Amino acid sequence: MTVERTLVLVKPDGVRRGLIGEVISRFERKGLKIVAMKMLRLSREKAMEFYSVHKDKPFFKDLVDFMTSGPIVAMILEGDSVISVVRQMIGSTDGRKAQPGTIRGDFALSVQENVVHASDSPESFERESKVIFSDEDYVNY
Ligand code: IDP
């Protein structure tokens, strides 16, 4: 067993559409543990830092506009192999191609507005989680 952590965001479209509960519920039912959670609005600086790997992509400005267009819900989930498990549960980036049964497959029809973000590697988790959470945000239980 490899207990890991991952960062999940319910993006502004997910919050606007009332999907916060749906998203959290899927992870709870899977048996994943929420060890930190908050609602916030990303500043442009934080959004640009969060998505810095995409800074040279043509969609970068639109992505930053979108990610700062409303509040997000951020959470850290913990569980066995949680990074790959959650990536499978959210589905492919493009909502039109994501498998039914995944969050994006069930709720997204866009490549940009795809409801959720989840870290894709332990290195991404380390970097991304520090953009949003500090050590005292984690709860031990
Ligand atoms: P991921 O969210 O599945 O890890 P990434 O390739 O890391 O996918 O892209 C980050 C986010 O950037 C996507 O979730 C989506 O919101 C946005 N994005 C990715 N590719 C495109 C694109 O071709 N057009 C517009 N937005 C995109």
The answer to whether 6 is a known ligand-binding residue is no
- Tell me if 69 CB under 6 Å of ligand 1: no
Choose which residue among 6, 53, 59, 109 to substitute to test ligand 1 binding: the one with the highest number of ligand atoms within 8 A of its C-beta: 59
Predicted local confidence at residue 122, as pLDDT: 98
117 is catalytic: yes
- Tell me if 25 CB under 6 Å of ligand 1: no
Cβ pair 114, 93 in contact under 8 A: yes
Give the ipTM: 0.98
φ, ψ for residue 91, nearest 5 deg:
85, 180
- Counting the structural domains of the chain, the total is 1
DSSP code, position 55: T
**Nearest to 27, CA basis, from 62, 71, 69, 78:** 78
What pLDDT digit, counting tens, does each position of 47-100 carry?
Answer: 999 999 999 999 999 999 999 999 999 999 999 999 999 999 999 999 999 999
What pLDDT digit, counting tens, does each position of 98-135 carry?
Answer: 999 999 999 999 999 999 999 999 999 999 999 999 99
Residue ranges making up the domain that contains 9: 3-137
What CATH number has the domain bearing residue 45? Answer: 3.30.70.141
Helix axis angle for 20-30 and 82-90, nearest 10°, is 140
What pLDDT digit, counting tens, does each position of 4-19 carry?
Answer: 999 999 999 999 999 9
How high is the mean pLDDT of the chain? 98
| 93 CA to centre of ligand 1 in angstroms | 6
